[in-house]
Structure 1
Amino acid sequence: MTSTSPAPASIRSYTVKPSLSRRFCVAPMMDWTTSHYRYLARLLSRHTLLYTEMVTTGALIHGDTDRFLRHDPAEYPLALQLGGSDAGELAHCAKLAEQFGFDEVNLNVGCPSDRVQNNMIGACLMAHPDRVAEGVRAMADATSLPVTVKHRIGIDGRDSWDQLCEFVEKVAGAGCRTFIVHARIAILEGLSPKENREIPPLKYDWVYQLKQRYPHLEIIINGGIKTFAEVHQHLAHTDGVMLGREAYHNPWLLAGVDPEFFGAPAPFHTPHEALRAMLPFIRSELERGVYLGHISRHLLGLFHGMPGGRQFRRYISENAHKAGAGLEVIEEALARVREPEASPIVTA
């Protein structure tokens, strides 16, 4: 069951789920991959696999479950990312993921923040492969959904190749067949989450070697990837690629995914067309009581690098937060960007 009303007519015809493919994914990102961003992303690509923000098991069990799991059927295929380490709680939340219509449940073993470490969530679990395996086994027993793990290649003090292989082997032995690997270690002492995305060096070759060593496993690579040329390079060595910040800051990039990687036509020729198709959804959210600014912040990068893009961003930033701001703010911002016959999708 999905805790949402039917999709607006502009996208309702796309709610038949494409087969789940991890060939191209958008990473789970706190405060960013909300339902509002995911709706935009799905307009731009029918085949990209989308992930929720990380939701902790405690929040789902003891908080407003409907609010945390709310999504629109138009977002499918869609994976729920969980943060937690208690096997019983993870199993309970995996059942919820299936009940709410998600296509996959993913365990976060990569977040380096102090706050989640204190609750035995995220990258610190790299030091506890048996505990991760116990949680994966419990989730796999509780649901028919695929159970996947997103992790780093190591953490400070546990960053050897052999330790990475030990982690993968133990978790695979518990029933996980898909590993989404951020090709950096996480430094848990002394670096912020932002620094952990930039300072530890990328070791793509380690992820390639994982695929070579464990060809029966599905290995998805993540970390610092920005262009389609890079995606193609990684696909020569892995089963799929996950983009994070680039897909958020420059969402029009996603409009090229279906023709580039799935042999399917691009859903729209210009970002103007895509945004106009999103207007009924925005209207329905406003009618539900959502503030415009909570939606519009995810639209700011849609005209990234295009003439008028800065004026678009400025108008929304200056007006979306005002009391009573509605759909007219988006329409007026859109009018500030000249619409070409087609906007070429930059892939390199």
Structure 2
Amino acid sequence: MISSPAIRPDALRLSVAPMMDWTDTHCRVFHRLLAPHARLYTEMVHANAVIHGDRARLLAMDPVEHPVALQLGGSEPALLAQAARIGAERGFDEINLNCGCPSDRVQAGRFGACLMREPTLVADSVAAMIESVAALEAPVPVTVKCRLGVDDDHRYEVFREFVDQVAAAGCRMFVVHARNAWLKGLSPKENREVPPLRYEWAYALKRERPDLSVIVNGGIATEHEATAHLAHADGAMLGRAAYHDPYLLHRLDAAWFGDPLRPRGELLRTLRPYVESQLAGSAQQRPVPLKHITRHLLGLFHGERGGRAFRQVLSEGAHRPGADWSLVEAALAATERTEQAAA
């Protein structure tokens, strides 16, 4: 049995969850500027899509994003192994297997959260993925993101047995979304909110299996909540909070790694070269409309005076033909005017 390479503890402290329709390459570049030390994750990509689909689009990644993990969906060990190798060869720093998504499409394909009921299949998949990347010059870690269980299974021992079986296949890191997945009767959105959080299961797993890296995910909305998890686990993974309030990501990165806290406008202006290069396109890439980038920026002034003006200017103008960086400057100026008027 080949064990997956370990990841440095400091590289696991802070991460941003894989989120469908959200954590594309533009989002990740923005998050990297906010949080230089965070570990970033792609949206989930099915193994079949990696093998047969448009890799230039599905696996798009800017060099600034590192360290960034590719999250795969699927349930066939051979296909997952092939997709894992493709991802590693394209430069991703980690390959993560999704065992937590509860959507109807995922259930129909027998992957995602359904895999919590099939630990042997997950173990076989992980072993195949690890073996497929082991021959590379620089093998990358293969990790798992899971739930506590599915539906009405509320036994910690079942969850721990799942982890033990997958760990025996060589997986050394588990991202634990500390809720059950309810496969019937709840939408994916409700599955992120309704099933009760049980962080204590992730904490117990770390106490009982100290050789494993355990990352806590689910319901983390504030700096205080994220920091509290570090006393019991190896790291905290932010999901919707990092997207809807991205400056929280910057505050955490600065607090946990000792860097100075920078103003929102200053941080945003460091994105200008990337935005302008995307708008211009290249021989290998078509120009990207501004709206595909600015949709990820809307929450930067969340909870701040001027935040509404910032969102309004970007939302109303980014879809217009010819929209460019000047619109972002206009949004910042509108925000500053609102702040000054309130002072």
Q: Tell me if the contact between 2:16 and 2:40 (Cα under 8 Å) persists in the aligned partners.
A: yes
Whole-Å separation in 2 of the counterparts to 1:326 and 1:75: 23
Q: Tell me if the contact between 2:14 and 2:253 (Cα under 8 Å) persists in the aligned partners.
A: no
Q: Measure how far apart 1:278 and its partner are.
A: 0.5
Q: Measure how far apart 1:314 and its partner are.
A: 0.5
**What residue number does 2:5 align with?**
none
Whole-Å separation in 1 of the counterparts to 2:187 and 2:169: 31
Match status 1:335 vs 2:333: yes
**What residue number does 1:155 align with?**
150
Q: Measure how far apart 1:121 and its partner are.
A: 1.7
Which of 59, 62, 67 is residue 57 of structure 2 equivalent to? Answer: 67
**What residue number does 1:286 align with?**
279
Q: Measure how far apart 1:252 and its partner are.
A: 1.0
Whole-Å separation in 1 of the counterparts to 2:233 and 2:249: 20
Q: Tell me if the contact between 1:20 and 1:103 (Cα under 8 Å) persists in the aligned partners.
A: no
Q: Tell me if the contact between 2:149 and 2:181 (Cα under 8 Å) persists in the aligned partners.
A: yes
SS of residue paired to 1:335:
helix
AA aligned to 1:284 is S
Whole-Å separation in 2 of the counterparts to 1:33 and 1:110: 17
Match status 1:164 vs 2:135: no
Whole-Å separation in 2 of the counterparts to 1:100 and 1:262: 29
Q: TM-score, normalised by structure 2?
A: 0.91
Q: Measure how far apart 1:209 and its partner are.
A: 0.8
Alignment of 1:1-348 (within 5 A): 21-143=11-133, 144-266=139-261, 269-288=262-281, 289-338=287-336
Whole-Å separation in 1 of the counterparts to 2:267 and 2:9: 23
Residue deviations 1:118-173 (CA, integer Å, cap 9, x gap): 11220000011000001100111111111100000000144321211110011000
Q: Tell me if the contact between 2:9 and 2:234 (Cα under 8 Å) persists in the aligned partners.
A: no
Q: Tell me if the contact between 2:18 and 2:71 (Cα under 8 Å) persists in the aligned partners.
A: yes
Whole-Å separation in 2 of the counterparts to 1:209 and 1:135: 25
User: Unpaired segments of 5 or more residues in structure 1?
Assistant: 1-17, 342-348
AA aligned to 1:263 is G
Whole-Å separation in 1 of the counterparts to 2:278 and 2:294: 11
**What residue number does 1:4 align with?**
none
Whole-Å separation in 2 of the counterparts to 1:66 and 1:86: 23
AA aligned to 2:21 is D
AA aligned to 2:267 is A
Identical aligned pairs, as a percentage? 54
Whole-Å separation in 1 of the counterparts to 2:216 and 2:94: 17
Whole-Å separation in 2 of the counterparts to 1:100 and 1:294: 23
Whole-Å separation in 1 of the counterparts to 2:10 and 2:88: 15
Q: Tell me if the contact between 2:291 and 2:319 (Cα under 8 Å) persists in the aligned partners.
A: yes
AA aligned to 2:322 is G
User: Unpaired segments of 5 or more residues in structure 2?
Assistant: 1-7, 134-138, 282-286
Q: Measure how far apart 1:20 and its partner are.
A: 6.7
Q: Tell me if the contact between 2:172 and 2:213 (Cα under 8 Å) persists in the aligned partners.
A: yes
**What residue number does 2:284 align with?**
none
SS of residue paired to 1:318:
helix
SS of residue paired to 2:130:
helix
Whole-Å separation in 2 of the counterparts to 1:150 and 1:113: 15
Q: CA RMSD in A?
A: 1.7
AA aligned to 1:51 is Y
SS of residue paired to 2:69:
strand
Q: Tell me if the contact between 2:35 and 2:249 (Cα under 8 Å) persists in the aligned partners.
A: yes
Whole-Å separation in 2 of the counterparts to 1:55 and 1:232: 30
Q: TM-score, normalised by structure 1?
A: 0.89
